[in-house]
Amino acid sequence: MAKISPKQINMNDGTELILREAAAVDAEAVLKYTQEILADSPYLMTTPEEFTQTASQQKEWLVRMAEDPNKIAIIAESNGMIIGFLDFHNGNRVRNMHQGAFGMSVKREYRNKGVGKALLNALLEWAERNPLIEKTTLEVFADNANAIALYKKMGFEMEGIKRKAAKTDAGYHNLFLMAKFV
């Protein structure tokens, strides 16, 4: 059973966007999207070289996500193409099941058009309906000003800093810990 119903909205430029839960049949498209986004974004922890998932592994992962009522994977698509993706995982222990973390990405050419906001709204609406989830958290590169501005606008608050938590060719980067109670 789907955790969210497909939802049609318009991006800031008027282009139609569909938000929906990812399904096993999306495995190859999600895999391709992930490979593309990893090659194009300096703000993700995984490097393209590290991402070795196969289509069958991606399918298994999407099945597990769909079967767990406290996890969700959301696709944003336009003209049948994935342009954004968000996945949320709650804690796996009794004492931290009430909270979880998410990761989100949007294709470069679709940034600043409302895709990230739409994905976050879908996550927060789902989390508010989920009887177990009380808190959504994230880690964001401290120099990712656009993402931080969006998270703050959506009600996320700073909880801490992980100093020199990421190391790239450009040097060390701090990560901000942010959260929102639902």
In a domain, 144, yes or no: no
With a cut of 70, say whether residue 17 has pLDDT above it. Answer: yes
Q: Identify the pLDDT of residue 2.
A: 62
Looking at the whole model, is its pTM more than 0.85?
A: yes
**Averaged pLDDT, 132-152:** 97
List, for residues 74-131, the tens digit of each pLDDT value: 999 999 999 999 999 999 999 999 999 999 999 999 999 999 999 999 999 999 999 9
In a domain, 177, yes or no: no
Residue 98 C-alpha from the chain's centroid: 18
User: pLDDT > 70: what percent of the chain?
Assistant: 99
pLDDT category, 167, cuts 50, 70, 90? very high
In a domain, 171, yes or no: no
In a domain, 81, yes or no: yes
* Dist CA 102 CA 58 (whole Å): 17
Q: Identify the pLDDT of residue 93.
A: 95
In a domain, 102, yes or no: yes
Structural domain of 52:
7-133
In a domain, 150, yes or no: no
Q: Identify the pLDDT of residue 1.
A: 47
- For the chain, the three-class secondary structure string (H helix, E strand, C coil) is CCCCCCEEEECCCCCEEEEEECCHHHHHHHHHHHHHHHHHCCCCCCCCCCCCCCHHHHHHHHHHHHHCCCEEEEEEEECCEEEEEEEEEECCCCCCCCEEEEEEEECHHHCCCCHHHHHHHHHHHHHHHCCCCCEEEEEEECCCHHHHHHHHHCCCEEEEEEEEEEEECCEEEEEEEEEEEC
In a domain, 158, yes or no: no
Q: Identify the pLDDT of residue 14.
A: 93
pLDDT category, 34, cuts 50, 70, 90? very high
In a domain, 156, yes or no: no
List, for residues 54-77, the tens digit of each pLDDT value: 999 999 999 999 999 999 999 999
Look up the CATH number of the domain holding residue 129.
3.40.630.30
